[in-house]
Chains A and B, each alone.
Chain A
Amino acid sequence: EVQLREFGGAAVLVGESLRLSCAASGFDFGGLTMHWVRQAPEKGLEWVSLISWDGGSRNYVESVKGRFTISRDNSNKVLYLQMNSLRTEDTAIYYCAKDLSSRSGLDHWGQGTRVSV
């Protein structure tokens, strides 16, 4: 069974940092692109970042470039999102999600972790 579990959400002050983790199991983690998607309170989904299977490609939404860093540990099947210089507009539930295959939709999502700035 595919499982994605996010950790690390918390209430922090403007300008502070936070690292989110996503523990994966039940699939070939090291072979797939992974994503972070967020949802602000009472708002829609916003794609945040993706990282290719080998970490060679990392893309970000414009509003987090230079502040957020996505990374992964394929040996331990963990996805990370380092968030620095947090702003109030970063307040959201953060979901990790896996590609079905290359750009074929996000077929499994975690339950989300809440970040409040």
Chain B
Amino acid sequence: QSILTQPPSVSGAPGQRVTISCIGSSSDIGAGYDVHWYQQLPGTAPKLLIYNNNYRPSGVPDRFSASKSGTSASLAITGLQAEDEGDYYCQSYDSSVNGVFGGGTRLTVL
């Protein structure tokens, strides 16, 4: 089963913009399955941040945006804030309709 590839860590200063990539394959993202993004703050359960490639659930600030192209996707966070520090995961499905997560990216706000 496939695993989506994310950078282990990213960092940025308050107010800056950071991006997190999510690289899949023709068996998952490239097969047409949507990509979803989750935020996990320390000691808490994951929270849905972006669904269906670029839609924000109610309550998620518009500082968070995402896109998908081909076999990859990316999450962008603008106006970085201290409370954004945590782990971010992309998720999709493979051709067997099994869920698949990225390895996670630790965001550090400098």
Mark contacts of A90-102 with chain B using CB atoms, 8 A cut-off: 1 yes-contact digit, 0 otherwise: 0000010100100
Question: 16 interchain pairs (CB within 8 A)?
Answer: A35-B99, A44-B89, A44-B101, A44-B104, A46-B101, A47-B98, A47-B99, A59-B97, A60-B98, A95-B45, A100-B51, A103-B33, A103-B93, A105-B91, A106-B38, A107-B48
Question: For B101, what are the chain A residues with a Cβ–Cβ distance below 8 Å?
Answer: 37, 44-47
Check A110 against B45 for contact (C-beta < 8 Å).
yes
User: What's the interface size class on B, roughly?
Assistant: 20 to 34
- Apart from A61-B1, A100-B57, A106-B91, 15 more pairs, CB < 8 Å: A45-B101, A47-B99, A47-B101, A57-B97, A59-B98, A60-B98, A95-B45, A105-B34, A105-B48, A105-B51, A105-B52, A106-B36, A106-B38, A111-B45, A112-B45
B100 interfacial by beta-carbon distance below 8 Å: yes
Summarize A's interface: helix, strand, loop or mixed. strand
Check A100 against B48 for contact (C-beta < 8 Å).
yes
Check A47 against B91 for contact (C-beta < 8 Å).
yes
Q: Which residues of A contact B (CB under 8 A)?
A: 35, 37, 44-47, 50, 57, 59-62, 95, 97, 100, 103-112
